[in-house]
Amino acid sequence: MNNTQVLLKRRPQGVPVAEDFEAVTTTLVGPREGEALIKNEYISMDAGFRNWMDEDAGDAVLPAMALGQPVMGLTVGVVAESRHSSLKEGDLVMGRLAWEQYSLAADDFLVVLDHQDTDTPTHYHLGILGDTGMSAYFGLTDIGQPKVGETVVISAAGGAVGYVAGQIAKLMGASRVVGLTSSDAKGERLKSELGYDAFINYHEPNLDQQFSTTCPAGIDVYFDNVGGPILETVLNHVNVGARIPFCGAVADYSTKRPQGPSNLFQIVTNSVRLQGFMTHLQLERYPEARGQLTAWMKSGQIKSLTHEYDGVAQCGQAFADLFAGKNFGKTLVKV
C-alpha cells in the first residue's frame, strides 16, 4: 500500500521552514502481529514538537526525532486493520503517531475515543477537546482562576490554546481579557470573533507602555504560552496575588539561548503564583475537561476555530506557518 509521509529532512536552524521537511511516498507493509494499521484523518500541528527536532533534544517526555524519519505528531484516525490485542477495526483513536497517511501502532499509548458520538467532529479531539483546549481549561480553572473585576492577559492569544483560553477567561467572569499577538489584523480578529476586550501587538515598539495603556488596572492573570522577553515585561505589570499558568514557551523553542526574565523578584514582592503544568499527564481528568468544554460549546458560550491545510504533504508548510504567526485557531492538516 502506498503511504505519503513527511520526513524530517534536516534539523531546523532556529525557526523551522518548510524546506526542513520532505514529503515522500513509501510502501507500507503490515500490520504485523501486535500492531494496528491506523488510517489518519487529521494531523495536529503543535509548536511544542519543535523542541524534539534538535540533535540533542531527547528528554523524559520524548526522544529526539530521527533525521530522515516521519515527523512525530498527534493524530486522530481510525483503525483500518488490527493484529493488536486491544485495538479493533473501526476504533477511533488519538495519539502520538506521525505526519503520514497511515501509521502502524504497536504501543498502547493511543487513546480510544467514543466513535458512537457522531455529534463530535473528529478533529475536536486534537483541538478544543484535545491537548490544546484542555490546556486552556486546566490552566485557567486550576491556576489562573480569574474573578469578576480582574484583568487577564493571554499570549499567543490566537493560537490553539490561547483562542480557547480567551473565551474561558470571559466565561469565568474576567472583566478585561487582553490578547498578545503579532499583528493588528490578528488582534482585530481576537476582538471580533473571540470576545477579547483588547489586544497588544508585541511587534510594535514600547511594549511596556502598551501594557500600561491596555491594562490600566494591572494584570491579575497572565496565561503564558510564549515565555521569554514578553514574560519579563508582564512581570512589571502584575498585581499583588497575580496568577501565571505557565503553559508553554514558544519564544524559546527555536533558540539555543532562551532569554529568561531578569526580574523574577517581582514574583516575590507581588506574591505571584507562577505554575507550570502538563496536560497529557492528567488523563484521569480528561472526562471532566471534555464534559465542561462540550457543555460550553453546546450552550453557545465558546466556539471551535480551526486553521486547516489539505493533504499530508502540507505538514511542513503548516508547521513553519505556526512560527511565522500565520495561524489563527487550531492548526490541522486534513489527511
Q: How would you class 227 by CB atoms within 10 Å of its CB: exposed for 0-12, middle for 13-18, buried for 19 or more? A: buried
Q: What is the smallest separation between the CB atom of 310 and ligand NAP, expressed in angstroms?
A: 18
CB 8 within 8 A of CB 53: yes
Are 170 and 281 within 8 A, CB to CB? no
Alpha-carbon distances, residue 83 vs 37, 87, 88, 104 (angstroms):
8, 8, 8, 10
Instruction: Find the shortest distance in angstroms from Cβ 141 to ligand NAP.
Output: 14
CB-wise, 31 or 159, nearer to ligand NAP?
A: 159
Q: Which residues pair with 37 in a beta bridge?
A: 81, 104
Should residue 135 be labelled a site residue for ligand NAP when binding is judged by CB under 6 A? yes
d(CA 52, CA 253): 9
| Phi, psi (degrees; rounded to nearest 5) at 122 | -60, -35
Binding track, positions 34-53, relative to ligand NAP; x by CB under 6 A: ------------xxx-----
Q: Is 168 in the site for ligand NAP (CB under 6 A)?
A: no
CB of 172 to ligand NAP, least distance (A): 19
State in angstroms the smallest separation of the CB of 101 from ligand NAP: 22
Instruction: Point out which span in 3-11, 213-221, 231-239, 317-325 binds ligand NAP (CB under 6 A).
Output: 317-325
- How many Å apart are CA 38 and CA 3, to the nearest integer? 12
119: CB partners within 8 A, 6+ apart: none
Q: Which of 42, 199, 296, 323 binds ligand NAP (CB under 6 A)?
A: 323
The single residue among 20, 131, 150, 220 that binds ligand NAP, judged by CB under 6 A, is: 131
Stretch that binds ligand NAP, among 26-34, 154-162, 191-199, 213-221 (CB under 6 A): 154-162
Contact between 279 and ligand NAP per CB under 6 A: yes
Produce one character per residue of 172-210: b if its CB has 16 or more CB atoms within 10 Å, e if not: bebbbbbbbbbbeebbebbeebbbbbbbbbbeeeebeeb
Instruction: Please select the residue that binds ligand NAP; options are 12, 70, 133, 158, rule is CB under 6 A.
Output: 158
Q: Do 194 and 163 contact (CB within 8 A), yes or no?
A: yes
- Tell the smallest beta-carbon distance from residue 314 to ligand NAP (Å): 15
- From 86-94, 260-268, 287-295, 324-332, give the range in contact with ligand NAP by CB under 6 A: 324-332
User: Beta strand 36-44 with 72-82: parallel, antiparallel or unpaired?
Assistant: antiparallel
- Under the binding rule (CB under 6 A), the answer on residue 182 touching ligand NAP is yes
Give the integer Cα–Cα distance in Å for 255 and 257.
5
Question: Of the candidates 225, 233, 306, 314, which one interacts with ligand NAP according to CB under 6 A?
Answer: 225
Using CB under 6 A as the binding rule, whether residue 186 contacts ligand NAP is answered as yes
Give CA–CA dist 219/84, Å, rounded.
51
Whole-number Å distance between alpha carbons of 335 and 315: 10
* Residue 221 β-bridge partners: 152, 243
C-alpha cell of 264?
523574577
Q: What would the grid cell of residue 158 be?
A: 490566537
- Contact in structure between 178 and 153 (CB atoms under 8 Å): yes
Please count the residues of this chain forming the interface with ligand NAP, following the rule CB under 6 A: 30
* Minimum gap (Å) between residue 74 Cβ and ligand NAP: 9
Site string for ligand NAP, 237-266 (x = CB under 6 A): ----------xxxxx---------------
Interaction of residue 75 with ligand NAP, rule CB under 6 A: no
We find the least distance from the C-beta atom of residue 325 to ligand NAP, in angstroms, to be 3
Binding site for ligand NAP (CB under 6 A): 46-48, 131-132, 135, 156, 158-162, 181-182, 186, 225-226, 247-251, 277-279, 322-323, 325, 327, 331
